[in-house]
Amino acid sequence: MINLNEIINNLISDLTPRQKEILEGRFGLKTGHKMTLAALGEKYGLTRERVRQIEEEVLKSIAKKIKLGPTAKILTEITNYFKKIGNVRREDFLVEDLRKLLKDKTLTTWQLKFIFEAAGYPNYHIEDKNFYSFWYKDKAIFKKVNDFINKLTKFFSNKKEDLITHKKFDKLFTQIIKPHALQDVIALNYISVSKKFDTNSYGDFGLSHWEEIRPKTMRAKAYLVIRKHQKPMHFKKITESINKANFDKRVALPQTIHNELIKDPRFVLVGRGMYGLKEFGLMPGTAREVIARLLKTKGPLLSSEVINLTLQQRVLKKCTILLNLQNKKHFKRLPDGRYHVA
């Protein structure tokens, strides 16, 4: 078992109190919060540039110590591990990985940043609009990762149905990584640093801007829930499912969801409070309008056939369908027992 905190304390043990406090402040070694050059300068009556110089001088002196003793062994283990995963790793994932590898449950991001900064390896990419914070070997690796992500984005951009509806991620993923001669674990590692991809609450993978992956509105969340359910749902059940899926911190309310379902033509009312999707093949309109449309499309039908076809479209009692058929203003019964539109 390795305790990185003890190793760091040994590395900085012979520093002056001011040098030690500046280093601890800059890397958040004690508090977990990084202090700015300005804040440390104000504390010690120094300019920002002088604080930066002290930090740089101290790191250079520590870099020599790192190449010796237990720290050198740690860096060797980390370097070998880094190679196995493609010389790149998202920051939060790397912390968890190294806690297991070094058997140090107390290991923190701040400690790693200090060791890596002093050692001069690996490089660090701060979080921005395209990437999560991650560590990488060199510029060549960064370019390789970035190129792969851009190709993957373009490849998946028109494959929403294949990914979400038909669950073809494994097949498509194999298809895209084969030309790059990448192992699955390395390719997935590359993907993990990018903000262009994500998985939704149902485990579907896709581009982050797709509403099926990151639904932002209640309407989009309701659509995704019904689509996943693959059959009509009551608006209260839809609301419960949205809240259970935990898409974000916003709580869905039944009346809000009901209002969204009413306004959007993608949703079809199929029964009292029950909604399905138009893409399921459901027809909009009242029970009478649905029956009329079926008879116009299919031609004259027996009452049993009308009932079966209507029940595929609506949650109704059979007697309700039969009562509609008895309306002579809209439907007529032929001598052979079949019905057609009046």
Range(s) of the chain covered by CATH 1.10.10.10: 4-85+92-119
The pTM (predicted TM-score) of the whole model is 0.74
Q: What is the pLDDT of residue 1?
A: 63
Residue 110 contacts residue 159 (beta carbons within 8 Å): no
pLDDT tens per residue across span 213-250: 999 999 999 999 998 898 899 999 999 999 999 888 89
| Coil vs helix vs strand at 303 | helix
pLDDT tens per residue across span 105-139: 888 899 889 889 888 889 999 999 999 999 999 99
Q: What is the mean pLDDT of residues 39-67?
A: 89
Nearest to 91 by CA among 105, 79, 109, 107: 109
Q: What is the pLDDT of residue 260?
A: 95
Q: What is the mean pLDDT of residues 187-196?
A: 95
pLDDT over threshold 90, residue 10: no
Q: What is the pLDDT of residue 63?
A: 85
Strand order in the sheet with 88-90: 88-90, 134-136, 123-125
**Count, residues in the chain:** 342
| Coil vs helix vs strand at 339 | strand
Between CA 241 and CA 221 the distance in angstroms is 9
The CATH class that applies to domain 287-341 reads mainly alpha
Q: What is the mean pLDDT of residues 138-150?
A: 95
* pLDDT band (50, 70, 90) for residue 166: confident
Tell me, which fold does domain 218-280 have in CATH? Arc Repressor Mutant, subunit A (1.10.10)
Q: What is the pLDDT of residue 64?
A: 80
Instruction: Note the CATH number of domain 4-85+92-119.
Output: 1.10.10.10
Between CA 314 and CA 172 the distance in angstroms is 37
* pLDDT band (50, 70, 90) for residue 78: confident
pLDDT over threshold 80, residue 69: no
For the chain, what percent of residues have pLDDT higher than 70? 99
